Chain A
Amino acid sequence: MANILVGLVVFGALGAIVWKMVRDRRKGVGSCHSGCGTCPFACEKRHD
């Protein structure tokens, strides 16, 4: 019982992370904060 429960949580979480990573990649979500303006290369962004 505990195995199923914990397994569900762990693999569910891992699955969710992978799914989100793939989706973000497709949508091209940048991870830039609007505040870091002073530096020309502050943030990692997607460029296409």
Chain B
Amino acid sequence: MPHTIALAGNPNSGKTSIFNELTGSTQYVGNWPGVTVEKKEGYLKGDKRHVVVDLPGIYSLSPYTLEEVVTRDFLLDGKPDLIINVVDATNLERNLYLTTQLVETGIPVLIALNMMDILERNGDTIQVPLLSEALGCPIIETSAVSRAGLKDLVKTAVHMVDKAEGSGKVAKFSTPVEKALLQIEHLIDTLVPPDTLRWFTIKVFEHDERVMQRLNLSDQTAHQIATIIESVEKSMDDSAESLITNDRYEYLTGITAACHKKARKMGTLSTSDKIDRIVTNRWLALPIFFAVMWGVYFIAIQSVGDLFIGWIEWFFGDLIGANIALGLEAIGTSAWLVGLVVDGIIAGVGSVLTFVPQMMILFFFLALMEDCGYMARVAFIMDRIFRKFGLSGKSFIPMLIGTGCSVPAIMASRTIENQRDRRMTVMLTPFIPCGAKLPVFALLVGAFFPNSAWIASSMYLVGILAVIVSGIVLKKTKAFAGDPAPFVMELPSYHMPRMKGVVIHMWDRGKQFIKKAGTIIAVASAAIWILQSSSWSFQLVDTQDSILASIGRLIAPIFTPLGFGSWEVAVATITGLLAKETIVATFGIVLGLGNVAEGDPTLLASVGAFFNPISAYSFMIFTLFAAPCAAAIGATRREMQSAKWTWAAILFQTGVAYTAALVVYQVGMLLFGRGL
């Protein structure tokens, strides 16, 4: 049996970086039982005797959030041999607040005092031996960025596990509280193991419902305890919970005052504050935000991204496609097989790969914004607007990520504590046009609106509008009614983004996308090509008589009121469920477009048979809102943790898509239909 080391700490304490450095590539990602909180495990590098479990980033061990409950349960029932507590040295008091609670569980605690390099740069000092003495825990100074102290950390951890050294010093509360705790201790000391007695006693004093349930006290004991607490609450004129919290911080203030010297006085400005003064300035914040977003999209989609598209189209169409066709024909391969390879697989995969660069650049900037601390400010700026229609500013972050891809966006909704808000965010995030929907828009805009830049951008506007309207409407329903969730959120200091992490993140996303193109899209392209060139008796036939055509004709009438009732388009909406990129691939194969550049006259000629400008716009609207791709539906299922809610989301999205497209087409035809 390997020993278990739990890694605990505040969010933004650098815990994840430390975990990555400790475990390297041996990580295994799973879930805590029954909840959507992520559980990461891994062996210490090159040491199979010690498993490190990465606990969720938390501020406290209260019973109110899922992450905190998961952590408590693991510490009490998972019986780790050691807790490594990552503490942000630049934010000592609040980080140690968690430490005092960890110590109470009776498990030995080793403190990794992280970000020491930043602390020193600020000119602050911490007398580590003094702090260690006061807390009763060994402290190793670390910096995950420069990897300083990590070897020492591992060595000390292994040593502590082997020797099973005792726990740290518990926080001392004020005399009346301590007196009450002592009384409670006597009442419950037969019910819990001795090393966790302090923890249970404090939780009982705090009226912690989960602990009360677990202890299952007799009526008499429960009554005795209630009397003890009541008398303290009365004499101190405060609730038990806030007495404990107050005293805990008081205790810590005493310790840090002795060993933490700050160069800067409270109220003077650090560099981070000066940046913040401009970025979240009353007048500048919104213009800066829009400028940043515009800049990101200009670089990712327009300039640099567009440049790559030309190259990739040339690479797949002219170089790979044409030459393979020549080669296969030269060795005497039948036309249908050449067609399958070149017009099916290569054309399909190629049309999807063309916008990998756009996606990667987009993700690069989103990761950059997250890493440097701007994302939290965006939530801060936008909260007011979002609360108006029932969401919190935290919902804005998933929506922003949703412009890249709905899958990580839906997963990002995890940071929203309130379940109602989380569900609503998961439901509405796919309304924001993701990277994969862009080529669909680009294709149709290129064909019908080549000279108007605003048609493509209007998709973002329409998406945001739909989120707002849906938010207001859903909030009126019973399932989503209720008070807004609290918005008590840390705004981490700005810092230079860690380029390594940002680039890895970008590469990961790109890699997944390429992998998808090489697997699911390749198979789907081949399947679509076969379906569209063979009959039910597997004879090679004209597309008009193919299997695909007959399936398409069956469902096409559904879309006739929306203006795109041809079987070709009907098929594309179905294949779009696989991945939105397949819509483009489907058009490419079914319409025989191959790799035509946007704005090419042949494109308009072939697409023009299926759409007019109004039905093209209606189709774009339908694609924007309809049930997302399979991967996003999967992510929805995971975050909702309920089949019922997943179906509700899919039906809601598709219902909105159908209605919106219907309105656009019918009203559009009424207004402009005569001229077409």
Q: Do A's and B's CB atoms come within 8 Å in the complex?
A: yes
Q: Which of A3, A35, A45 contacts B29 (CB 8 A)?
A: A45
Bound together, the chains give a CA A40 to CA B17 distance in angstroms of: 11
Contacting residue for A34 out of B27, B345, B370, B520, CB 8 A: B27
In the complex, what residues of A have CB within 8 A of residue B407's CB?
44
Stretch among B289-297, B325-333, B660-668 lining the A interface: B325-333
Q: State A20–B409 Cα separation when bound (angstroms).
A: 27
Q: How far is the CA of A1 from the CA of B631 in the complex (A)?
A: 40
Residue in contact with A38 in the complex, picked from B17, B24, B511, CB distance below 8 Å: B17
In the assembled complex, 25 residue pairs joining A and B whose CB atoms fall closer than 8 Å, in A order, are: A1-B332, A6-B328, A6-B331, A10-B340, A10-B341, A17-B519, A20-B519, A21-B519, A21-B520, A31-B512, A33-B508, A37-B16, A37-B17, A37-B501, A39-B367, A39-B370, A40-B414, A41-B409, A41-B411, A42-B367, A43-B508, A44-B411, A46-B29, A48-B30, A48-B31
The verdict on A47 contacting chain B, using a C-beta distance below 8 Å, is yes
Give every chain A residue within 8 A of B401 (Cβ-Cβ). Answer: 41
A38/B29 contact (C-beta < 8 A), A21-B519, A31-B512, A44-B411 known: no
Interface size, chain B (Cβ < 8 Å): 54
* Contact pattern, A 4-18, Cβ under 8 Å of B = 1, otherwise 0: 001100100010011
Contact A3 B334 (CB under 8 A): yes
B526 at the interface (CB under 8 A from A): yes
Residues of A within 8 Å of B414, CB to CB, are: 40-41
Query: A44 CA to B340 CA in the complex, in Å?
Result: 31
Contact residues in B for A40 (Cβ distance below 8 Å): 16, 57, 412, 414-415
By the criterion CB–CB under 8 Å, are A32 and B38 in contact? Answer: no
Closest to A35 in B: B504
B3 within 8 A of A: no
Given A38-B17, A38-B498, A40-B414, A47–B504 Cβ distance below 8 Å? no
A35:B519 contact, CB within 8 angstroms: no
Shortest Cβ-Cβ A-B pairs, 9 listed: A37-B16, A35-B504, A41-B412, A47-B31, A37-B20, A38-B501, A2-B332, A2-B331, A36-B505
Residues of A in contact with B, size category: 20 to 34
What 4 additional pairs, Cβ within 8 angstroms, besides A14-B526, A33-B508?
A: A41-B409, A42-B367, A43-B408, A47-B36
What residues of chain A lie closer than 8 Å to B625, measured between beta carbons?
none
Q: Which residues 351-403 of B have a CB within 8 angstroms of A?
A: 367, 370-371, 401
C-alpha gap A1/B334 in the complex (Å):
10
Q: How far is the CB of B344 from chain A (nearest CB, A)?
A: 9
Q: Are B408 and A38 in contact (CB under 8 A)?
A: no
- Closest B residue to A15 using CB positions: B523
A22 CB, nearest partner CB in chain B, Å: 11
Secondary structure class of chain A's binding surface, majority of residues: loop
Contacts of A42 in B (CB 8 A): 367, 408, 505, 508
Asked if B622 CB lies within 8 Å of chain A CBs, one says: no
Scan residues 53-72 of chain B and give those whose CB is less than 8 A from a CB of chain A.
Answer: 57
B489: shortest Cβ distance to chain A, in Å?
14
Encode contact with A along B66-98: 1 for CB under 8 Å, 0 otherwise. 000000000000000000000000000000000
A38 to B503, CA, bound (A): 11
Take A21-B519, A47-B638 as given contacts and tell me if A41 and B408 are in contact as well, using a CB distance cutoff of 8 Å.
yes
- Do B523 and A18 touch (CB < 8 A)? yes
A45 to B27, CA, bound (A): 12
Cα A18 to Cα B635 in complex, Å, equals: 21
Q: Give the contacting residue for B522; candidates A3, A7, A14, A38; CB below 8 A.
A: A14
Residues of B with C-beta under 8 A to A1: 332
Is the pair B371, A39 in contact by a Cβ cutoff of 8 Å? yes
Cα-based distance from A48 to B36 in the complex (angstroms): 9
Chain B stretch 462-513: residues in CB contact (< 8 A) with chain A: 498, 500-502, 504-505, 507-508, 511-512
Is B331 in contact with A38, judged by CB distance below 8 angstroms? Answer: no
Which residues of the partner chain B approach A43 to less than 8 Å between Cβ atoms? 29, 408, 508
* Min C-beta distance of B507 to chain A, whole Å: 8
A32 touching B16 in the complex, CB below 8 Å, given contacts A3-B334, A6-B333, A37-B501: no
Q: Which residues of A contact B507 (CB under 8 A)?
A: 33
Neighbouring B residues of A7 by C-beta, 8 Å: 337
Q: Known A14-B526, A39-B505, A45-B29; judge A34-B36 contact (CB<8 A).
A: no
Q: Is the CB of A34 within 8 A of B23?
A: yes
For B500, the chain A residues whose CB sits under 8 A away are: 35
The distance in angstroms between the C-alpha atoms of A17 and B482, with both chains bound, is 48
For the complex, is B242 an interface residue (Cβ under 8 Å from A)? no
